[in-house]
Amino acid sequence: MTKTTRLVLESGITLLIVLGAVFAVPTLATSNTAALDSKYRVFCANDKIEVEQRTLEQQKNARGSNVCQLGEFDYLSDADKHAEKLGGKGADCKCN
């Protein structure tokens, strides 16, 4: 194999590796969006107030279809305060 042919092949392989890394990393990051969700949510689940980090979909999977979201917050303390305004965790509630 000549030096020119070998150089072209090695350059091509290097280019493929670089392109693979550049385009694979953003795809992996977006597929883990749910894992990066750090919101705190106040739910009415089965007629009781709860504070969770789950999404509405996850909460419905865990608690059944009788679930609605009453608020979403960046901090647990804010979610707890909102739940207290509604009667506190475990208080009765209704989904409309």
- Beta strand 40-45 with 48-52 is antiparallel
Query: Does the pLDDT value for residue 14 go beyond 70?
Result: no
Q: What is the number of structural domains in the chain?
A: 2
Is 96 part of any domain?
no
Query: Does the pLDDT value for residue 40 go beyond 70?
Result: yes
In this structure, are 49 and 27 located in the same domain?
Answer: no
In this structure, are 26 and 50 located in the same domain?
Answer: no
Give the whole-angstrom CA distance, residue 35 versus residue 64.
Answer: 21
- Radius of gyration in angstroms for the set of CA atoms belonging to the chain, rounded to a whole number: 24
Q: What is the mean pLDDT of residues 73-85?
A: 98
Q: For residue 96, name the pLDDT band (cuts at 50, 70, 90).
A: confident
- pTM recorded for the entire structure: 0.63
pLDDT at position 43 is 98
In this structure, are 9 and 30 located in the same domain?
Answer: yes
Give the whole-angstrom CA distance, residue 70 versus residue 47.
Answer: 12
Q: What is the DSSP annotation of 9-49?
A: HHHHHHHHHHHHHHHHHHHHHHHTHHHH---EEEEEETTEE
